[in-house]
Structure 1
Amino acid sequence: MRKLALIILVTVTSQTAWADAAGDLKNYLTNTQSLQASFRQTVTSQQGKVQQSSGTLAIQRPGLFRWIYQKPFEQLIIADGKQIWLYDPDLKQATVKDMGKALESSPAALLAGNNQFERNYKLRPLASSEGVDWLEAIPKQADQSFETVKLGFSQGQLTQMELHDHFGQTTRIYFSALKINPKLDASQFRFIPPKDADVIRE
């Protein structure tokens, strides 16, 4: 009897977490037009090597984002709705690619996309952990950059992402200082490379 009660409790808890996380994702897709946050990121290689970075981001849905790595090295990624620019000030190098080709190739692009998330991903519930309700999103097309994407919601807000790519790397992103639907200056989503920068088109 005790074992049966435990099974029922686990099942109900899992269903509740799934409902909460699914509802939070739907709420984000429906009600979030813009977003500002700070982030902390770790990338763990297949061999266990860890790289850490941090910075800020701004998103205007759909299709616009500004993702700035501030530590340990400065790097700027901007999407203007048509193109994605990646600029490295130390190397004085700017790489630009068509937005369509780069769609969903980065965490920022996932967050800044349109409301077709469920059309592109198969969703399944994961166990809640430390107050975070988790969803796993598996791309329906095999040519996506990531094998799986996990979305973590806390108190209705997206606070964590975990991405597993085809090279065995795991990227974990932790969001803080979230501002939902702030008024954003459109100029921050435009990028003009410096005159002395090498521009590489992909």
Structure 2
Amino acid sequence: MRQFALTLLLTLTSQIALADATSSLKDYLNNTKSMQASFKQVVSDKQGKTQTSSGILAIQRPGLFRWMSQKPFEQLLLADGKQFWIYDPDLKQAIVKDIGKALESSPAALLAGNNQFERLYTLSTLPTKDNIEWLEAKPKKADNSFDVIKLGFNQGQLAQMELHDHFGQTTRIYFSDININPKIDANQFRFTPSKDTDVIRE
């Protein structure tokens, strides 16, 4: 009887935690129409080597985002609702893709998507760590860019992301200076390459 009671308690606790984490995700999807923030991104490979970058992002849901890495070098990821741009100003090179094909190719695209997260991913709860409530999302389709996505919420606010891809890389993203639902200039989500930029269409 005690074993049954303990099992029941653990099951209920797990369900409550999942409900809380899922609620945080739903609140973000339902209540966040736009977002501006600073980010720090750390990418680790199988050998443990890391690359760190930082910058700013702007999101207008659904489908518009601007992800600007500023350090150690500049790179722009931008979705204008129809096309997805990757621009390297040092190389004067821009890669442009159809937005549908590139929808899951960046963390910003996940944040800027529609409210169909639960339809595309299987959700499960993870232990809370350092006051961060974690939710794990595994894609239901095998052709997703990521094997596992983890979302960390602090008091209902998205604070961290962790992404594991097919190549064994782990990308950790930390958000700060978060501004929810600001009015963002539409020009933030437009990109016109200069005449001397090499444009590659994929």
Aligned partner of 1:56 in structure 2 is 56
Q: Which runs of 5+ in 2 are unaligned?
A: none
SS of the aligned residue for 1:102 comes to coil
Aligned partner of 1:198 in structure 2 is 198
**Superposition RMSD on alpha carbons, in Å?**
1.8
Structure 2 counterpart of 1:164, which letter? H
| 1:120 maps to 2:120 | yes
Aligned partner of 1:145 in structure 2 is 145
Aligned partner of 1:39 in structure 2 is 39
| 1:173 maps to 2:165 | no
- The two structures have a TM-score, normalised by structure 1, of 0.94
Q: Which runs of 5+ in 1 are unaligned?
A: none
Structure 2 counterpart of 1:82, which letter? K
Query: Shift of the alpha carbon at 1:17?
Result: 2.9
Q: Size of the alignment, in residue pairs? A: 202
- The two structures have a TM-score, normalised by structure 2, of 0.94
Q: How far apart, in 1, do the equivalents of 2:72 and 2:90 lie?
A: 12
1:63-142 matches, within 5 Å, as 63-142=63-142
Q: How far apart, in 1, do the equivalents of 2:82 and 2:63 lie?
A: 8
Query: Shift of the alpha carbon at 1:105?
Result: 1.4
Label 1:194 to 1:117 Cα distance change in 2 as closer, same or farther (>3 A). same
Structure 1 vs Structure 2: percent identity of aligned residues?
71
Label 1:128 to 1:10 Cα distance change in 2 as closer, same or farther (>3 A). farther
Q: Is the 8 A contact 1:17 1:134 kept in 2?
A: no
Q: Is the 8 A contact 1:14 1:128 kept in 2?
A: no
Q: How far apart, in 1, do the equivalents of 2:193 and 2:200 lie?
A: 11
Q: Is the 8 A contact 1:24 1:153 kept in 2?
A: yes
